[in-house]
């Protein structure tokens, strides 16, 4: 009994270490959880919250032309009424969300 319990504990510990790495990988999931409420599912910023906060459309030519580093800085540090996500999202989650935003621009 102790032998099986030992392996079960080891398996649970391993799963708890690996699971966050997989969870952080999806830019679409991060976008849906943190960005879509203002910027909308399509990235146009036409949600009620987006209109109230004057959220930018990701199809705006200035944003389309902006380098990823600028968008990452905006998401990390905030800009205007947009909150900063530093400390709330990892750098990888922010980069993945920006990569997803680029797919909305096509």
The predicted model scores a pTM of: 0.74
In this structure, are residues 29 and 94 in contact, taking their beta carbons and an 8 Å threshold? no
pLDDT digits (tens, 9 = 90+) for 30-82: 999 999 999 999 999 999 999 999 999 999 999 999 999 999 999 999 999 99
Contact 103, 41 (CB under 8 A): no
Report the pLDDT averaged over residues 76-98: 96
CATH number of 26-104: 1.10.760.10
In percent, the amount of the chain with pLDDT more than 70 equals 76
Q: Which helix (H) or strand (E) holds 102?
A: helix 91-104
Any idea where the domains of the chain sit in the sequence? 26-104
- Return the percentage of the chain with pLDDT > 90, whole number: 75
pLDDT at 82: 94
Residue burial 11-25, b: 16+ Cβ < 10 Å; e: rest: eeeeeeeeeeeeebe
| Amino acid 1: pLDDT | 47
pLDDT band at residue 19 using 50, 70 and 90 as cut-offs: very low
């Amino acid at each position: 009994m102790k032998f099986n319990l030992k392996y079960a504990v080891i398996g649970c510990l391993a799963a708890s270490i690996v699971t966050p790495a997989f969870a952080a990988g999806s830019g679409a999931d991060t976008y849906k959880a943190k960005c879509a409420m203002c910027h909308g599912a399509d990235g146009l910023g036409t949600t009620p919250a987006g209109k109230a906060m004057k959220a930018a459309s990701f199809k705006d030519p200035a944003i389309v032309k902006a380098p990823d580093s600028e968008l990452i800085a905006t998401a990390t540090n905030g800009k205007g009424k947009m909150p900063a996500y530093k400390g709330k999202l990892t750098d990888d989650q922010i980069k993945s969300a920006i990569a997803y935003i680029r797919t909305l621009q096509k």
